[in-house]
Chain A
Amino acid sequence: MQDDNAPISRRKFAEELERYRKGSVSRRHFLGVTGLGTAMAVMAGAMPMMRPRGAHAAELGDRAVLATWPNYHDPESFAAFQKATGVATQVNVFGSNEEMLAKLQAGGSGWDVFVPTNYTITTYVEADLIEPLDLSKLPNYDPAAFEARFADAGTVDGKLYAVPKNWGTTGMAWDSTKAKAPFTSWKEFFDITMTDFSGRTMVHDYQLTTIGNALKYYGYSFNSVDPKELADAENLLLQVKPHLFAISSDYQPPMRNGDAWLTMCWTGEGKQMNRDMPEIHFALGKDGGEIWSDYYAIPKSAPHREAAYALINFLIDPQVNAREATAHGFPVADSRVNALLPKDVLEDPILYPAADLLNAQEFGAAATLTDPNRAELMARFKSA
């Protein structure tokens, strides 16, 4: 039997990365666009022979459905979880928090665990869609191991609803062979898009970051819902639109094959591209941008609640989590996990930017998720 707790070797690390790289090409798009991820999950569940049988099947059931983000887990963790508990994890991949909320609002999602981002949790609580967590079922969670800023969004009105998964930032990644100088701000990002990089820039298909970074162009708050400031941001986005290569959160394939030269980019994905192609650089805007923290949570409607607790508890086990972090490359807030990670990872300037840069970043605010003007602005921008 494989020792799941052994520290990862360099070779294994490289293998993991390679597998991830191969797998990452277009999976987001693929699953997101078609709902194939959901379809596969449903089919697997409907076919008895595809369901594994395990020792603890009686208590936990035989499966758990996880709604999460693309390229965000080590598939081997799910295999190990299944070996230990008999519970097979079905993974559904999403492209935005809005989409996750829409699916949960519509009902019948069938999810047992989902991965909301910090700023959305209060909305889930208000809409009564999220389950308060029973800590006795999560012995691997140690609140003392977390910096408050990465953990406190999980608690609403004194009740714990979610435990931290990973944190990161939203910066920009670019092909340094095409740029005259490194990028340092969102002002430069949009300015160069309208000049030298025309037709080569990508922005996220995600209101929070695309609108937020356009707001930063003018020095407004990343989270602004002020109508005048949003109007300025819309103006900029409409001006920029003809110069964009694409509006899509699936930026790795075009960046890797050279169609796109500059993109809004999440930390871990910036690191992945930089590892494979050192000419792709990543930086944060010194004028600001997003810092975020994702959480594990359980929807009120979870059909397999016990399995959900078991899965979360398994994934936040420091050993498992360290392996996860090594596979997907996103930083972890849990100090017990960081103690297990190699030093060069913890000192990586992409994953752990300098404090002064990090301090300029803002966590997303709840209002941005529900604000009708931001939602409508994004939709108008896309159909302009």
Chain B
Amino acid sequence: MTKGRARWLLLGPAGLWYAALLVLPLAVVLVYSLGERAPAGGYAPALTLAQYANLGSRWAAFQNTLLLAPAGTLAALLIAYPLAYFLAVRANPRWRTLLLVLVIVPFWTSILIRSYAWIFLLGGRGIPALLSDLGLGDIRLINTPFAVLVGIVYGYLPLMVFPIYVSLEKLDKRLLEASSDLGAAPWRSFLQVTLPLSLPGVATGSMLVFILLMGEYLIPQMLGGGKVFFVGNALVDLFLQSRNWAFGSAMAVTLVAIMLVTVTLYMRFLRRIGAARDDTGLM
């Protein structure tokens, strides 16, 4: 009895936190998503699925998000892995801390300021001017999906580097020696020992970056010039410009649902990989 009460008491703060800051707001959004736009904008109570039926009109925003978020995650992974590997395995331990700090340093400046820098770098007088001096003709980068991709990879790279770094840094070097003693070439040791053991870091980093990218607003706004629209941008428009709270809520619910499904599938996929690896390990 007292044991049970103590358990509830201990769960209390966390439970309250979840109820007040997660369940309640989500419930509000869910209820709003079944409503209508008030005549002068805002929310009017109703019980209709009309907002969900209208989701098709924002297909492009979903398409951009569902294409660029995974693409950005993959690109960040491909760049972050070698970097993390170098930091954890190859870098001189004397320099390691300094190098790690250098990865964090950009975080000291707001992403907004850094995105501004990219506006100028990718703008007509930046990289395109350089390329045209090299004889590559009229190349336009700013306000394209490519610019947005550059921005998100740049902005979120450290979030990918650190989890991978941690999993590589923990790696037991004796396993590599064993692999080498047993005659495996370095690349084979990497594929069969290092890579599988760093997968948890890869999974964490990818998940972190992917989830943040799905809700991204700032970078498409700044580097996409209002032309490369994410769901986040469409949402802001619905609440601040067309003031259609009901439709905005329906979009938000849909985004949350898509993320729940993809993240669940991703977890299951990782678990299956893990299981398959354990099986082969036994053979």
Residues of A within 8 A of B (CB): 26, 29-30, 33-34, 36, 96, 98-99, 101-103, 105, 123, 126-127, 199, 205, 207, 241, 244-248, 253-254, 257-259, 370, 372, 375-376, 378-380, 382-384
Min Cβ gap B196→A in Å is 41
| Chain A residues positioned under 8 Å from B37 (CB to CB) | 372
Could you tell me if A370 and B41 are in contact, using CB atoms closer than 8 angstroms?
Answer: yes
Could you tell me if A257 and B123 are in contact, using CB atoms closer than 8 angstroms?
Answer: yes
Could you tell me if A241 and B227 are in contact, using CB atoms closer than 8 angstroms?
Answer: yes
The 3 closest A-B pairs by CB, nearest first: A246-B225, A247-B226, A375-B242
Min Cβ gap B36→A in Å is 10
| Chain A residues positioned under 8 Å from B60 (CB to CB) | 383-384
| Chain B residues positioned under 8 Å from A105 (CB to CB) | 41-42, 243
**CB-CB nearest in chain A for B125:** A257
Could you tell me if A259 and B142 are in contact, using CB atoms closer than 8 angstroms?
Answer: yes
Min Cβ gap A44→B in Å is 18
| Chain A residues positioned under 8 Å from B242 (CB to CB) | 98, 207, 372, 375-376, 378-379
12 contacts between A and B (CB under 8 A): A36-B112, A96-B241, A99-B240, A105-B41, A105-B42, A105-B243, A245-B225, A247-B226, A248-B225, A259-B125, A383-B233, A383-B237
Instruction: Please measure, in the bound complex, the distance between the C-alpha atom of A375 and the C-alpha atom of B37, giving whole angstroms.
Output: 11
Residues B51-70 near A (CB distance < 8 A)? 57-58, 60-61
| Chain B residues positioned under 8 Å from A370 (CB to CB) | 39-41
Instruction: Please measure, in the bound complex, the distance between the C-alpha atom of A103 and the C-alpha atom of B41, giving whole angstroms.
Output: 12
Identify the interface centre among A96, A126, A247: most chain B CB within 10 Å of its CB. A247
Min Cβ gap A5→B in Å is 39
Could you tell me if B234 and A383 are in contact, using CB atoms closer than 8 angstroms?
Answer: yes
Instruction: Please measure, in the bound complex, the distance between the C-alpha atom of A29 and the C-alpha atom of B226, giving whole angstroms.
Output: 12
Does B162 have its Cβ within 8 Å of any Cβ on chain A?
A: no
Could you tell me if B241 and A375 are in contact, using CB atoms closer than 8 angstroms?
Answer: yes
Instruction: Please measure, in the bound complex, the distance between the C-alpha atom of A123 and the C-alpha atom of B38, giving whole angstroms.
Output: 13
Instruction: Please measure, in the bound complex, the distance between the C-alpha atom of A63 and the C-alpha atom of B39, giving whole angstroms.
Output: 35
Min Cβ gap A98→B in Å is 5
Instruction: Please measure, in the bound complex, the distance between the C-alpha atom of A101 and the C-alpha atom of B226, giving whole angstroms.
Output: 21
Does B269 have its Cβ within 8 Å of any Cβ on chain A?
A: no
Could you tell me if A98 and B240 are in contact, using CB atoms closer than 8 angstroms?
Answer: yes
Find B40's partner among A36, A123, A247, A376 (CB 8 Å cutoff): A123
Knowing A29-B222, A102-B243, A383-B234, the reply to whether A259 touches B123 (Cβ < 8 A) is yes
**CB-CB nearest in chain B for A246:** B225
Find A98's partner among B123, B233, B234, B241 (CB 8 Å cutoff): B241
Instruction: Please measure, in the bound complex, the distance between the C-alpha atom of A59 and the C-alpha atom of B242, giving whole angstroms.
Output: 40
Residues B27-85 near A (CB distance < 8 A)? 37, 39-42, 57-58, 60-61
Instruction: Please measure, in the bound complex, the distance between the C-alpha atom of A9 and the C-alpha atom of B105, giving whole angstroms.
Output: 46
Instruction: Please measure, in the bound complex, the distance between the C-alpha atom of A102 and the C-alpha atom of B124, giving whole angstroms.
Output: 35
**CB-CB nearest in chain B for A373:** B242
**CB-CB nearest in chain A for B120:** A257
Instruction: Please measure, in the bound complex, the distance between the C-alpha atom of A20 and the C-alpha atom of B159, giving whole angstroms.
Output: 38
Could you tell me if B41 and A258 are in contact, using CB atoms closer than 8 angstroms?
Answer: no
| Chain B residues positioned under 8 Å from A383 (CB to CB) | 57-58, 60-61, 229, 233-234, 237
Instruction: Please measure, in the bound complex, the distance between the C-alpha atom of A98 and the C-alpha atom of B238, giving whole angstroms.
Output: 11
Instruction: Please measure, in the bound complex, the distance between the C-alpha atom of A29 and the C-alpha atom of B224, giving whole angstroms.
Output: 13
**CB-CB nearest in chain B for A94:** B240
**CB-CB nearest in chain B for A105:** B42
Does B244 have its Cβ within 8 Å of any Cβ on chain A?
A: yes
| Chain B residues positioned under 8 Å from A247 (CB to CB) | 225-227
Could you tell me if B142 and A382 are in contact, using CB atoms closer than 8 angstroms?
Answer: no
Instruction: Please measure, in the bound complex, the distance between the C-alpha atom of A123 and the C-alpha atom of B221, giving whole angstroms.
Output: 29
| Chain A residues positioned under 8 Å from B17 (CB to CB) | none
Instruction: Please measure, in the bound complex, the distance between the C-alpha atom of A245 and the C-alpha atom of B58, giving whole angstroms.
Output: 21
Instruction: Please measure, in the bound complex, the distance between the C-alpha atom of A148 and the C-alpha atom of B57, giving whole angstroms.
Output: 43
Could you tell me if B237 and A379 are in contact, using CB atoms closer than 8 angstroms?
Answer: yes
Q: Can you name 15 extra interface pairs (CB under 8 A) apart from A33-B221, A379-B241?
A: A30-B112, A36-B112, A99-B240, A102-B41, A126-B40, A207-B241, A247-B226, A248-B225, A257-B120, A259-B125, A376-B244, A378-B242, A380-B58, A383-B58, A383-B229
Find A379's partner among B39, B143, B218, B238 (CB 8 Å cutoff): B238
Min Cβ gap B1→A in Å is 46
Knowing A199-B140, A380-B57, the reply to whether A26 touches B239 (Cβ < 8 A) is no
Instruction: Please measure, in the bound complex, the distance between the C-alpha atom of A101 and the C-alpha atom of B39, giving whole angstroms.
Output: 14
Min Cβ gap A40→B in Å is 13
| Chain A residues positioned under 8 Å from B221 (CB to CB) | 33
| Chain B residues positioned under 8 Å from A205 (CB to CB) | 226
**CB-CB nearest in chain B for A97:** B241
Instruction: Please measure, in the bound complex, the distance between the C-alpha atom of A241 and the C-alpha atom of B243, giving whole angstroms.
Output: 23
| Chain B residues positioned under 8 Å from A30 (CB to CB) | 112, 116
Instruction: Please measure, in the bound complex, the distance between the C-alpha atom of A279 and the C-alpha atom of B241, giving whole angstroms.
Output: 34
Could you tell me if A127 and B225 are in contact, using CB atoms closer than 8 angstroms?
Answer: no
Min Cβ gap A329→B in Å is 25
